Structure 1
């Protein structure tokens, strides 16, 4: 397979061209012939013009890449090595939504031929690749695993916005349906990953390794959030506590905050779902999710208390929320907990203005039915800095004072600023 790919006799197809799929497709396209497939024709049109819809990659990244972008599933028939990197969200009830994965499996199944390989990168629960996706491949292809084609799982490890730990510099886990499949998949990925390849013994192990990476982070952040709630009641500055505790060599540097995005805030639900199917209800993981999901309500209540303490009627106040993306310096608004915070504030009849230099107003309107302003107004009763964008880190207290009226309130959810008691601002941070 690898030699045929190198001579461009065979072709790689990457399905799902978001934060994970597009960098992977372009990296493969520096050595191989690649088909980049996405179901959204408008996104495909942008990539054909060397524009990244996620605004993470520059036009230079598209240069000298042997890649064809398409939204036509018929084009997948030209491929022989398929990589599926579509989203794996949850629904409104926190149940895994496998529809994108199922649709991609059907599209690949219809294009599958003898000798082909299919590798899944989407985060799933252990057993999903072989139990949920494989039957679709076999059904639509009319082929049999092992005899006719092979599959594998190689979890994505893209960190959006990270300019240091990029795709090729992150150790890659691979796995296959049999030893030969694992070796071949390792060879293909090894041709672009400079950090090295780790071959997991089974597909289930690789799936489980991925899903617990983010579950572990979720639990550590939930501990920090619970501590922040406790210390707030005690009148203790959580950031100062963490700074002091970090002087011990083995203290882990986690901080409290809103846990959104397409990974940490989603992946634990896949593990919870599968475990409950098997009759075990995980207590620790569920508790961590409950705490993190409850942080928007906690922050909204904190602001409400501060407004009332300054004799401000919430229904007659105007609040500015700065930042909507799920993390700093990216455009990704998926599963934004800031949107949940805005809704919580609106439930108190607070007039909320929302700004973000990275988010798309159209995407925000479509996803959350919220309006993104071009610039802040003035005469705000409070300002909440919710995301640590570089643009916000450069701001200072005098700037915030120009935005607010008497008795200004500043909620600094990322702990970006230093404010003293004599500065004349009611300052609070997680």
Structure 2
């Protein structure tokens, strides 16, 4: 009797019960993670047609796989960690159990033991689909060069070796990149761009400066400028080379094609105006002193090679990079001055044609400037001045915080800062 009972239970595992265990919903998860929800929905419909073709016109089986695929795609639509597909698989498995029980109640042709076996197969099929996706998704990323949201979140970790190296060797560039990432994330959300991609690309957009960090203004100590000993053409070459070197570093560290594209496009074909003007002035000076005709200065030698930004995210990184760098050189950065500077620079980039090949509209530019103003005004807000405290003996006055004490240099700063700020803007090629 026991053997007959076991035989009956094993018989339930044949036929439709085993079909319930097939992890076809893994395909919907893969499509959603790598290509988006729309492709996943198309895949689900095609899957329903295929199941109908191979396993006969079984409405309930088609409905089983179609609904399971929809649930699977929805479960990983906002996938943010490697375990999300397994969680989605468990939800799919639970949904499968519900469908199996519902079909059994409607047909009322099979016993409780058979339904239990089918439910077990259905739940295992959903979980197994999640396990498959969790195991094979990183392999697919590596083999086919796809950059998923999960990979972007991993790259956004400040424990990444490249970001650690940037923080130690180029602290000014690192700080600039963090602020740019905050700016582009807020702007991307406002215009419907991929905020995660824009933010992560901003972290890495200037990694090429690791090769020669002290030749970039944000990493130079006060009074130190290595470009003073170089010809303008050599200075321009160093600045231009950081784009190519950044792309190469991104390739070595396998950051993914979307980030490499943004690194190569974040300067577009903009002119390094400071060193171009310096080269023109040096040519005129030499021509006057020597009286001989000198070779002309080629403007293309002082332009970044491009290409121009091709996506909204690349355009955002370009704009934020320009605006944040210029805002650092702005004397007395009040909200009004920041707003004026942001409007001027965004207009300059637009008029220069750098945004012609990306999808940013004038309406987008308005929203971008608005978000940039909010973030920069918050970062550069004026701190309160702590009142002086007079000791009880009345002999001397000290501030509550000695670091907040105003000095004569501080009082004299606005006039000097205006002149220094203009020079810094010129060095950045923005004035």
Q: TM-score, with normalisation over the residues of structure 1?
A: 0.29
Structure number with greater Rg is 2
Q: Which has the higher strand share?
A: 1
Q: Which has the higher helix share?
A: 2
Q: RCO greater where, 1 or 2, for CA within 8 Å and sep 6 or more?
A: 2
